């Protein structure tokens, strides 16, 4: 008798559990269909109208970010370049009437090659960048004295 009662209770619990699960699934199905038909389709249709605008905005953002990165790297470049002159022993020297301060690296490198051709193995010339252009002019002026 007890065994039959337990099986009846177990069957009733199983029926109720299945009933609640099916009700829950039906509610989720109704909510999903409502959202899908009323909300999601309208949002997707709204966004489709702005496809080209989104692409243009993304392109503009890409250009602005690349310009910002380029400007940041330009600010890190030295203000001027100095041709340092080293004698046979590796000490810094200064030769009168030689231009040593340049605004661009290409000009400084070109002059350094020209000086190497003129002076041969007497001196070594190397290009060094410096952020402070005024310091380079004063520093090279002090070496000539």
On the question of pLDDT at 145 being above 80, the answer is no
Give the model confidence (pLDDT) of 10-61 as tens digits: 666 677 778 888 899 999 999 988 888 888 888 888 878 888 888 899 999 9
Q: Which of 6-10, 91-95, 110-114 has the lowest mean pLDDT?
A: 6-10
pLDDT at 67 over 90: yes
Q: DSSP letters along the chain, please?
A: -HHHHHHHHHHHHHHHHHHHHHHHHHHHHHHHHHIIIIIIHHHHHHHHTTHHHHHHHHHHHHHHHHHHHHHHHHHTS-SEEEEEEE-TTS-EE--TT---EESSHHHHHHHHHHHHHHHTTS-EEEEEEES-HHHHHHHHHHHH-
Query: For the whole model, what pTM was predicted?
Result: 0.46
Residue 117 or residue 42, greater confidence: 117
């Amino acid at each position: 008798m007890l065994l039959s009662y337990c099986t009846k209770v177990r069957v009733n619990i199983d029926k109720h559990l299945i009933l609640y699960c099916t009700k829950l699934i039906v509610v989720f199905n109704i909510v999903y269909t409502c959202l899908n038909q009323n909300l999601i389709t309208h949002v997707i249709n709204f966004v489709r109208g702005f496809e080209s605008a989104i692409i243009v905005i993304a392109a503009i953002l890409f250009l602005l970010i690349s310009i910002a990165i380029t400007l940041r790297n330009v600010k890190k470049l030295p203000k001027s370049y100095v041709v340092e002159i080293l004698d046979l022993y590796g000490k810094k020297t200064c030769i009168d009437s030689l231009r040593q301060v340049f605004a661009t690296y290409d000009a400084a490198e070109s002059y350094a090659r020209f000086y190497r051709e003129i002076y041969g193995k007497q001196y070594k010339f190397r290009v060094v960048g410096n952020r402070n252009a005024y310091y380079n002019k004063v520093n090279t002026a002090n070496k000539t004295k």
